Amino acid sequence: MPPSPVASPSPSPSPSPSPSKSTTAERTRQLRVVAASGLLGTAVEFYDFLVYGTVAALVFGELFFPGADPAVGTVAAFGTFAAGYVARPLGGILFGHFGDRLGRKSMLLLTMGLMGGASFLVGLLPTYDTIGVWAPVLLITLRVVQGLAIGGEWGGATLMVVEHAGERRRGLWSSFTQMGAPLGSLLSTAVVALVVTLPKDEFAAWGWRVPFLLSVVLLGVGLFVRLKVVESPLFAEVKKDRAESRLPILDVLRRPRPVLLACCVGIGAFTAQSLLTSYLIAYATGIGYARPQVLTALTVSAAVALVVLPCASALSDRVGRRPVVLAGALASAALAFPVLALVDSGSPGLLILAVVLGHGIAQSTMYGPLGALLTEMFGTRVRYTGASLGYQGATLIGAGFSPMIAGSLVAGSGNSTPVSLLLCGGAAVTAVTVLFVRETSRTSLSDTADPAEGSDAPHTQEISA
């Protein structure tokens, strides 16, 4: 009999990726989407917010507060600017409450829509010559809406990134959200720099509206990316176990120490940000600089900040949040008087150097690690509310009133010394506060806060990206 045929071995199936590798790859991909969403979202919101400050320094005094002394008109314009900062803590509480109750993603879509809509309406707003006193009333109303929106934006965007990221690189990943501020500043100053090349009467008639109307384009891009983001895994776990805080603001305020520390540690960065951007435009043009020269300095500074921010944030993952923030505060204080002396020199080149040193380097070193530091101070159940309230409280104190105070003091003294003293004061508050802040750079997010701050939520594995 012929031998029986030997069955040929069937080809072995190609190995499929293990579930754990597939899950890790998907988490890493989603982390990148979240980081891009945080960068674009905060850039859109800061573009809208800072365009207002830039244009307010240039023309809002004469358009919405006519008949006043130019210095008084500028202070009044910065008063509407401050209204947005007053609303920011309220926005942090409002959107933080629903973000801790319902989820981060839905609140971030809402804040972006509100900010973009309010900015677009500012671009359509009639001036005082057309509708009288209703012009400044509507201007302030829209500014308050902007403040509410940005008050809820930063906390949600930052903690979405931090809650998706792993323990080793929370600082680096959170810097994508932090970079939204200088990117928004870069975009806003670049757009305004283009329109201020118009003849002065044309800029006052319609040119100032263009940056506000363009915000609708950025809004569309930001919403497109943000819709692709999934909910934070840590909050999803809290939601699954029905462990949400019923009243996050009350849980935060029962033990106010973390939110007070969060507020004070950011004052130096926001004082420097406001004085060396929005206020600097009014001050520098008042002592003889051309508007394009000032806007060029701010553009260069924002570009430098885009490099310094991630470097400072990544460094905070290695050496800790506290040393980096402290170094930035000390640098800001040390440079306060030299920076204003460079501004007072009248040289456009030295003006650029001044803003790069004070804002692009010193302020960015303070600001970079704050994204991770502030979110690490609160537990998952109240993190949106706590981090937002601390951050926006710092902006109110540090940035909201400093342009008005500086403008009034400089008008009385006739020199820039009050500006330098305000920079030193803000940096001193940050430097002292850092000494009382707990180092959390190497701690799991489930353990960064006491149970009273919401850290007793179930632990969810983080991505070690």
Provide the residue ranges of all domains of the chain, joining segments of one domain with +. 29-453
Q: What is the mean pLDDT of residues 314-324?
A: 95
The predicted structure's pLDDT at residue 446 = 65
Specify the range with the lowest mean pLDDT, choosing from 105-119, 297-311, 317-331, 442-456: 442-456
The predicted structure's pLDDT at residue 407 = 87
Residue 239 pLDDT exceeds 70 = no
Gap between the Cα atoms of 317 and 322, Å rounded: 10
pTM of the model: 0.80
Higher pLDDT, 365 or 59: 365
Question: Where does 29-453 sit in CATH, by number?
Answer: 1.20.1250.20
Q: What is the mean pLDDT of residues 237-245?
A: 64
Higher pLDDT, 393 or 451: 393
Residue 125 pLDDT exceeds 90 = yes
In terms of Cα–Cα distance, which of 41, 99, 38, 173 is closest to 463?
A: 173
Q: What is the mean pLDDT of residues 278-288?
A: 90
In terms of Cα–Cα distance, which of 58, 87, 83 is closest to 73?
A: 58
Residue 421 pLDDT exceeds 90 = yes
The predicted structure's pLDDT at residue 454 = 43
Specify the range with the lowest mean pLDDT, choosing from 11-25, 95-109, 132-146, 361-375: 11-25
State the pLDDT confidence band at 69, using cuts at 50, 70 and 90. Answer: low
Q: What is the mean pLDDT of the chain?
A: 84
Residue 232 pLDDT exceeds 50 = yes
Task: Express as a percent the part of the chain with pLDDT over 70.
Answer: 85
Q: Which residues contact 306 (CB under 8 A, 6 or more apart)?
A: 179, 182, 183, 186
The predicted structure's pLDDT at residue 19 = 47
User: Which one of 12-26, 292-306, 435-449 scores highest in mean pLDDT?
Assistant: 292-306
Specify the range with the lowest mean pLDDT, choosing from 2-16, 75-89, 213-227, 273-287: 2-16
CA dihedral 160, 165, 167, 173 (to 10 degrees): -90
Specify the range with the lowest mean pLDDT, choosing from 206-210, 333-337, 378-382: 378-382
In terms of Cα–Cα distance, which of 342, 373, 351, 358 is closest to 304?
A: 358
